[in-house]
Amino acid sequence: MSRLQVVSGKGGTGKTTVAAALALALATEGRRTLLVEVEGRQGIAQLFETEAFPYEERKIAVAPGGGEVYALAIDAERALLDYLQMFYKLGGAGRALKKLGAIDFATTIAPGVRDVLLTGKACEAVRRKNKQGAYAYDYVVMDAPPTGRITRFLNVNDEVAGLAKIGPIHNQAQAVMRVLKSPETAVHLVTLLEEMPVQETVDGIAELRGAELPVGKVIVNMVRPHVLDEAAVRAVTGDRRKEVAKTLTRAGVTGSAKLVTPLLEQAAEHAERVELEREQRAVLGTLGLTTYELPLIGEGMDLAGLYRLASELRELGVGE
Amino acid sequence: MTVDAAGALAIDPLLDDAGTRIIVCCGSGGVGKTTTAAALGVRAAERGRKVVVLTIDPARRLAQSMGIDSLDNTPRRVKDVEGEGELHAMMLDMKRTFDEIVEAHADPERAKAILTNPFYQSLSAGFAGTQEYMAMEKLGQLRARDEWDLIVVDTPPSRSALDFLDAPKRLGSFLDGKFIKLLMAPAKMGGRAGMKFLNVGMSMMTGTLGKLLGGPFLHDVQTFVAAMDTMFGGFRTRADATYRLLQAPGTAFLVVAAPERDALREAAYFVERLAADDMPLAGLVLNRVHGSAAARLSAERALAAAESLEEAPEEGRVESTEDPEEKRAENLDERGIVDQEGGKAGGRGSSVSSPEAAQTVKNSKTVKNSKNSKDVEPDKTAGPVETPGLSESVHHAPSADDSVERLTAGLLRLHAERMQVLAREQRTRERFAALHPEVRVAEVAALPGDVHDLAGLRTIGDRLAAGGSPVGSA
């Protein structure tokens, strides 16, 4: 399994949750994973119900079997200062640059530099080794920008390498690109069984493939149970309605006569959704990718729900 | 049923008010922001106004729903809008907008120098802030043309919520900063008499940047900055003017959200941020709110009833002879254990909580098959469960009688699921209302499917205007 797991998806599909669950799922049997966030939203901290992270890798969860999940919210400015310090011993000069607005320029205005720093930091964590020569993290999971931006975000190094034709930024960009385009990386897209997210997933995969970035899996999130189908709902007319009303009364439901219509309306909506979901599954099926389905956590996402999703992912074969 | 103190947000008066000139829809990704903007545009136009909708990155389907195959940087008239009004729609093309500004504000030679500069090309197409700057520019342009009496703007899916509000300030601080002066210095001086300006900081900086980025890159940046020099002032003036326009009384901000924890947390942040910037907030549009016309039947009672129906044949109980009151009391008693054990699990030889996980996993894997087999065994093939008890397997030979029971049980289970969604949405909404009781809310009842056409956008508009009380949720 690729050591850099990039998780993207349309807004609202729960990509941060899936990224966190994946990091937990991969951290079994004493393994260590690093969960990185690149958009400065502190979504991981909120998910794990901890306070906002400073710019440091810190342990946020223990997985079943003794594994550990670390998290890092990558900050472009700090990453650039670290980088200057690491390669040029520019501690003081870095501060001077900041005062001048040069750091601001590099991290917010200059095209691509910010993204290079963010992906660069993630790749550094992927390649980092400890004193014993083993990898510091078994897996790095990135909560990446949404589907609409993911290809540009990952591919920006190519662009920057073209823009900065020589020098360390150029070299850095190329080194990062080598990791991102190798089998060491897998880009997963999270979707819902709804038309727009599925369409965006299909488009996103075409873009990723066009840029020769390694597409991983499609993860369908928040899948709801199918209870009734359309045929069953349609069958309820005339005498059947009376039977349903009687059956409701028999089961202890009072005022059942007035309930039949609204209950059937709800069932018809459900059946319509089931049909739409079937169509969207068929669309996803044409992509030729492994698809994982994760259930909707009905009570709302919390830590317990996160661990449950992680165990779902393990059962589906993640980390094997 | 809405609990917030400020009450419902009335959409039609807002759209009908000739004083409303700009409506800005903002919100986090995936909450239906663009659809809301389009639906508002359709509704306002059909109520007689001349409207333009500026979308940032619409899904293809949405552009098609307005009868336009591909939206571009020029407003296009949307056909089949009823009534006196007009609807125009466009999609922001940030590179095109940037190019046009350059072409409009620089002489041809300078414009060419800028447009071919590699740094400019990358900046105009790629960099994350460009979209926000250009959205502001475009809004200013549309307003200045004065051809429309209402502009509905969708906002970019920014990495941080209100980047577009920061755009003018960020541009300003960049342009006023020492850094740009230093960058411009060598180009301006042409390397001649400028030596005395090249103080220590300068040489250190260009030296460092040169090392980092490579000499040619820095040279591109410097040439770009020098060429843009005369235009920067104009950028800032216009950005500042648009910012003030947003604060003016003719503007109404709508924060769009879905009744989910994360989306409402973002919405609360938007509300606070708009207040801090003195931006006029009209209210919150809460999309995809679920209601039920059978809300008086609780989830617990529905589940208990479903279980008793599914059990009955196995145990050979004669339900009809039972006193209905007694039966109901029994169901009520069960409510206490529903949360922990998923109902009457004990008597059925299947404990719920632990095998459920295994079953769910199996369901996840076998979803493809389930499509085909669900007719035969609906319960068995139900997808992953929402709460314990919702999709337990029930085995008994199908018979005519039986299927009414199974059907009724299915209806009840669906209802229980719906009621749980309702309860969850209610909790999130109450949390938001407690935090921001002053914010008016328009709730949009959820549609089972997606929006494909003008009719769909009209339906959304109707639901928006129906506002405070989604069908049957009272």
Nearest CA-CA distance, residue B286 and chain A, Å: 14
- B29-46 pLDDT tens trace: 888 888 999 999 999 999
| Token pair listed for B370 | 């389930």
Q: What's the gap between Cα B404 and its chain centre?
A: 41
Mean pLDDT of the B451-458 span: 90
Whole-angstrom Cα distance, residue A84 to residue A202? 39
CA angle (A223, B445, B77) in 5-degree steps: 105
Q: Domain check: are A209 and A277 in the same one? A: no
A91 CB near a chain B CB, below 8 Å? no
Task: Say if the Cβ atoms of A195 and B293 lie within 8 Å.
Answer: no
Question: Do the Cβ atoms of A252 and B324 come within 8 Å?
Answer: yes
| Nearest-angstrom CA–CA distance, A245 and B157 | 48
CA-based angle A155:A157:A159, to the nearest 5? Answer: 80
CB contact under 8 A, B128 and A114: yes
The pLDDT mean for chain B works out to 74
Share of chain A above pLDDT 90, in %: 51
Lowest mean pLDDT among A196-210, A242-256, B309-323, B363-377: B363-377
- Report whether A230 contacts B448 (CB < 8 A): no
For chain A, the average pLDDT equals 87
Ranges of H-type helices in B277-323: 299-315
Strands (E), B322-378: none
Distances (CA, A) of B211 to A165, A180, B207, B264: 12, 25, 6, 45
**A245: containing domain:** 225-288
* B179 closest CB neighbour out of A101, A152, A223: A101
Same domain, A130 and A15: yes
Determine whether the interchain pair B127/A270 forms a contact, defined as Cβ–Cβ distance below 8 Å: no
Closest residue in chain B to residue A195, using alpha carbons only:
B450
Checking DSSP bridges between strand A68-73 and strand A291-295, what pairing results, if any?
unpaired
Residue A128 in any domain: the answer is yes
Of A111, A235, A263, the CB nearest to B411: A263
How far is the C-alpha of B74 from the C-alpha of A209, rounded, in Å?
A: 31
The topology under which CATH files domain B11-164+241-289 is Rossmann fold (3.40.50)
A230 — pLDDT class (breaks 50, 70, 90): confident
Residue in the block written with tokens 């209806």: B411
The dihedrals phi and psi of A128, each to the nearest 5 degrees, come to -60, 140
Q: Which secondary-structure segment (H or E) carries A105?
A: none
Asked if the model's pLDDT at residue A258 lies above 80, the reply is yes
pLDDT of residue B201: 52
User: Is there a single domain that holds both residue A119 and residue A263?
Assistant: no
Going from N- to C-terminal start, the domains of chain B cover: 11-164+241-289, 299-422
What is the rounded CA–CA span in Å between residue A244 and residue A233? 11
Residue with tokens 């389905």: A293
Q: Are residues A136 and A183 in the same domain?
A: yes
The verdict on A89 and A230 lying in the same domain is no
ipTM: 0.83
| Chain A contact present for B396, CB below 8 A | no
Residue A75: pLDDT band by 50, 70, 90 thresholds? confident
Q: CB contact, 8 Å: A48 with chain B?
A: no
Tens digit of pLDDT for each residue in A18-50? 999 999 999 988 899 999 999 877 888 888 888
Query: Is residue A110 domain-resident?
Result: yes
Domain assignment of residue A46, yes or no = yes
Say if B7 is an interface residue toward chain A (CB within 8 Å).
no
* B411, B413, B424, B447: best to mutate for the A interface, most A CBs within 10 A: B411
In the predicted structure, residue B367 carries a pLDDT above the cut 90? no
The reply to whether A248 and A217 lie within a common domain is no
Any chain B CB within 8 A of the CB of A111? yes
Tell me: do A10 and A127 sit in the same domain. yes
Burial of B69 (0-12, 13-18, 19+ CB in 10 A): exposed
CATH code, A201 = 3.40.50.300
Residues A181 and A245 in one domain: no
Largest CA distance in chain B: 107
Cross-chain Cβ contact A247/B412 below 8 Å: no
Q: Quick one: residue B343, left, alpha or beta (phi over 0 = left, psi -120 to 50 = alpha)?
A: left
Instruction: Check: CB of residue B41 under 8 Å from CB of residue B153.
Output: no
pLDDT band at B133; cut points 50, 70, 90? confident
Name the domain count of chain A: 2
pLDDT, tens digit, for every residue of B259-305? 988 889 889 989 998 999 999 999 999 999 999 999 999 999 999 99
